Amino acid sequence: MVICNKRKSVLDYPGHILVEGGPGAGKTTLALLKAQSIFENELLHKNQKVLFLSFARATIYRIEEQAKGFLANGEKKALEINTYHGFTWTIIQSYGYLLKKHRHFKLITPPNFAAGKAGFKTQEEIDNYKYHLLDTDGIICFDIFAELVTELLERSLKIRSLLSDKYPFIIVDEFQDTDSNEWKIIKLLGQKSKIIALADLNQRIFEFRGASVKRIPEFNEHFESLRVDLGKENNRSNGRDIVQFGDDLLTGKNKGKIYNDVHINYYNYNKKDLRLPLFIEIQQAFKRKKMQGNNHSWSLAILVKRKLDTLKISSYLTSKKINHEVIIDPEGPALAASVISKLMEPTTDWDYGTIIDSLLQHLKGRKSTKISLADLKLIEFLEAYQQGAKIVGAKRKQLIAEIEMIITERQNLIFTGSPDKDWIMVRNLFQKSEHELLHNLYEDAIYIRLLNKGAVLLEKLTEQWRRSQCYQSASKLVEDALTQEHFAMTNRAYSGVFVMNLHKSKGKEFEEVIIWEEQYNPIISSDPDRTEQDKLVLRVAVTRARSLATFFTPKADPCILL
Sheet of strand 50-54: strand arrangement:
79-83, 50-54, 169-172, 194-199, 17-20, 226-229
What pLDDT shows up at residue 74? Answer: 80
Band (pLDDT 50/70/90 cuts) for residue 493 is low
Residue 471 has pLDDT above 90, yes or no: yes
The mean per-residue pLDDT over the stretch 546-557 comes to 95
Residues 396-411 have pLDDT tens digits of: 999 999 999 999 999 9
What pLDDT shows up at residue 56? Answer: 73
Q: What is the C-alpha to C-alpha distance for residues 296 and 495, in angstroms, rounded to an integer? A: 7
Share of the chain above pLDDT 70, in %: 95
The mean per-residue pLDDT over the stretch 455-480 comes to 90
What pLDDT shows up at residue 451? Answer: 61
Among the listed ranges 20-34, 174-188, 334-348, which one has the minimum average pLDDT value? Answer: 20-34
Residues 52-96 have pLDDT tens digits of: 998 877 677 778 878 887 788 888 889 999 989 899 999 999 999
Question: 199: which strand partners?
Answer: 20
The residue ranking higher by pLDDT, 15 or 236, is 15
Share of the chain above pLDDT 90, in %: 65
The H or E element containing residue 51 is strand 50-54
What pLDDT shows up at residue 449? Answer: 67
Give Cα separations from 438 to 12, 113, 207, 402 (angstroms). 61, 21, 35, 8
The mean per-residue pLDDT over the stretch 134-153 comes to 94
Residues 296-317 have pLDDT tens digits of: 789 999 999 988 899 889 989 9
Residues 425-446 have pLDDT tens digits of: 999 999 999 999 999 999 899 8
The mean per-residue pLDDT over the stretch 107-113 comes to 88
Q: For residue 515, give the nearest of 245, 237, 244, 234 by alpha carbon.
A: 245
The mean per-residue pLDDT over the stretch 147-167 comes to 97
3-class secondary structure, 103: coil
The mean per-residue pLDDT over the stretch 35-47 comes to 93
What pLDDT shows up at residue 259? Answer: 96
Q: What is the C-alpha to C-alpha distance for residues 356 and 376, in angstroms, rounded to an integer? A: 15
What pLDDT shows up at residue 61? Answer: 74
The residue ranking higher by pLDDT, 497 or 207, is 497
Eight-class DSSP state of 519: T
Q: What is the C-alpha to C-alpha distance for residues 542 and 197, in angstroms, rounded to an integer? A: 24
Residues 226-272 have pLDDT tens digits of: 999 988 776 666 789 999 999 999 999 999 999 999 999 999 988 88
What pLDDT shows up at residue 277? Answer: 95
What pLDDT shows up at residue 297? Answer: 80
Q: What is the C-alpha to C-alpha distance for residues 88 and 135, in angstroms, rounded to an integer? A: 19
Band (pLDDT 50/70/90 cuts) for residue 22 is confident
Q: What is the C-alpha to C-alpha distance for residues 65 and 182, in angstroms, rounded to an integer? A: 26
Residues 179-233 have pLDDT tens digits of: 999 999 999 999 999 999 999 888 877 776 777 888 999 999 999 899 999 887 7
Band (pLDDT 50/70/90 cuts) for residue 494 is confident
Q: What is the C-alpha to C-alpha distance for residues 236 and 250, in angstroms, rounded to an integer? A: 20
Query: pTM for this one?
Result: 0.82
The mean per-residue pLDDT over the stretch 327-336 comes to 86
The residue ranking higher by pLDDT, 356 or 329, is 356
Q: What is the C-alpha to C-alpha distance for residues 248 and 262, in angstroms, rounded to an integer? A: 12
Handedness of CA 381, 382, 387, 389 (dihedral sign): positive
Q: What is the C-alpha to C-alpha distance for residues 479 and 475, in angstroms, rounded to an integer? A: 6
Q: For residue 190, give the nearest of 167, 212, 158 by alpha carbon.
A: 167
What pLDDT shows up at residue 530? Answer: 87
Average pLDDT, the chain: 90
Give Cα separations from 50 to 34, 106, 189, 248 (angstroms). 10, 28, 13, 37
